[in-house]
Amino acid sequence: MIGTRPVIMCGANVILLNEQHQILLHHRVDRDWWGLPGGAMELGESLEQTACREVLEEVGLHCRNLKLFNIYSGEELYYKYPDGNEVYNVTATYLCKEYSGQIVVDLSEGRDAKFFSLEDIPANLSSTIKGIIEEFLSRYNELKSQGII
């Protein structure tokens, strides 16, 4: 059902790392917080296509060779938009260290986008993104030793 009842929304986001292993964060317009580039799946897309399209739309970068990090779902991914719509997200998070282009922020969706060192990640993150980044940081050495990042 569509309307005032909560819906399930599929989407993807990307932990994008530069050569210095800094993480790209996107400062949202709709809320005053930083997050990962990403968004909702469109009809006919794969989750990987969704991730790449959203990164391109939000920050102007072309992603290549994404690696699935994790899939998140459940009550902790409930979100109420400023307009009152409610969703339970199912989100695929990808890792990406191969990309091209220059950061160009779509000002209708974001205020800024920049790379942060892993020690200097801003405190104003959504609870969902905070959890994803905490998991990434806890697995960082493992991912690096396996050559994934």
Q: What is the CATH number of the domain that holds 19?
A: 3.90.79.10
- pLDDT tens digit sequence for 16-74: 999 999 999 999 887 789 999 999 999 999 999 999 999 999 999 999 999 999 999 99
Count of the separate structural domains present in the chain: 1
Whether residue 115 is predicted with pLDDT greater than 90 in this model: the reply is: yes
What was the pLDDT predicted at 70?
98
In a domain, residue 85? The reply is: yes
What was the pLDDT predicted at 2?
55
Full residue range of the structural domain in which residue 22 is found? 7-145
Residue 143 CA to residue 32 CA, distance in Å, equals: 30
- Alpha-carbon dihedral sign for residues 41, 149, 128, 110: negative
